[in-house]
Amino acid sequence: MEGSQFTGSERKEERRGGRPAAGTDPAKRRQILEGAGRIFSELGFDATSMSDVAREAKVSKATLYVYFQDKEHLFTAICAEQRDRKIAEKIALLDVNLPIVAVLHRFGVEILTTMSQPFVVAAHRIVIGVAERMPEIGSEFYEAGPVRVIGALADYLDHHVKAGHLDIPDTRLAAAQLLEVIPGSLFKARLYGVLKEPPAIEEVEKNVASGVTLFMKGYAANNAA
């Protein structure tokens, strides 16, 4: 229209009502993730199709693919969201002002309890299954999960080494060792389907207590807290 103050692109944006560009709307992304989470939990990963996700999330398949290129990336996005929150909660337990054994025990129980949950077990199975053909998913899962926890635990151990409570030449290695010892055979039994349900809290406590005791025997200084 003659005398209009808007450019063509501005008129287009006006018609769109200022909506976010494709694939950037956080509310739409949340809608998809919530719907996907429900359907993955109901049907399992293998049995769930992108059509199932689109139907459950109440979006078109075209919209779904704008946000997530495939089912694997969609699932890992759900994992990342849950993982980041849970890892932050675990790291917060590493209080340097409390006795070492008590802190490591509670930390270990929380770690193993979370690792044994159905969604976490399923996530590990899926990532292992796609890591060879989609190594970037495996790398992201490992770096943002285990590596982050190892780093936080190493920082906690560093504090106690400096305070003279622990004698550890390589705290990062020690942190990785502890995180392998704590799950023991329980996590592998869940991962491979030997244990169909999460282990009883008594088994978790027993496993963690044994692992922490072993760790302290190897690394405690004479004046360990």
pLDDT of the residue at 97: 97
Q: What is residue 6's predicted lDDT score, i.e. its pLDDT?
A: 39
- The pLDDT profile of the chain, 225 residues, written as one tens digit per residue, is 334 433 444 444 434 455 666 667 899 999 999 999 888 878 877 789 999 999 999 999 999 999 999 988 898 788 787 788 789 999 999 999 999 999 999 999 999 999 999 888 888 888 888 888 889 888 988 998 999 999 999 999 999 999 999 999 999 999 999 999 999 899 999 999 999 999 999 999 999 999 999 999 999 997 554
Q: What tens digit of pLDDT does each residue of 203-215 get?
A: 999 999 999 999 9
Measure the CA–CA gap between 153 and 147, rounded to whole angstroms.
10
In angstroms, how far is CA 134 from the centroid of its own chain? 18
For every residue of 137-201, DSSP letters joined together read: HHHHHHIIIIIHHHHHHHHHHHHHHHTTSB--S-HHHHHHHHHHHTTHHHHHHHHTTSSSSPPPH
Q: Which pLDDT score, from 0 to 100, does residue 18 have? A: 56
Name 166's bridge partners. Answer: 220
Q: What is the pLDDT of residue 17?
A: 53
In this structure, what DSSP letter does residue 149 have? H
Dist. CA 130–CA 146, nearest whole Å: 18
pLDDT at 15: 41
pLDDT computed for residue 21 by the predictor: 63
Helix (H) or strand (E) holding 93: none
pLDDT of residue 40: 83
Residue 182: count other Cβ atoms within 10 Å of its Cβ: 26
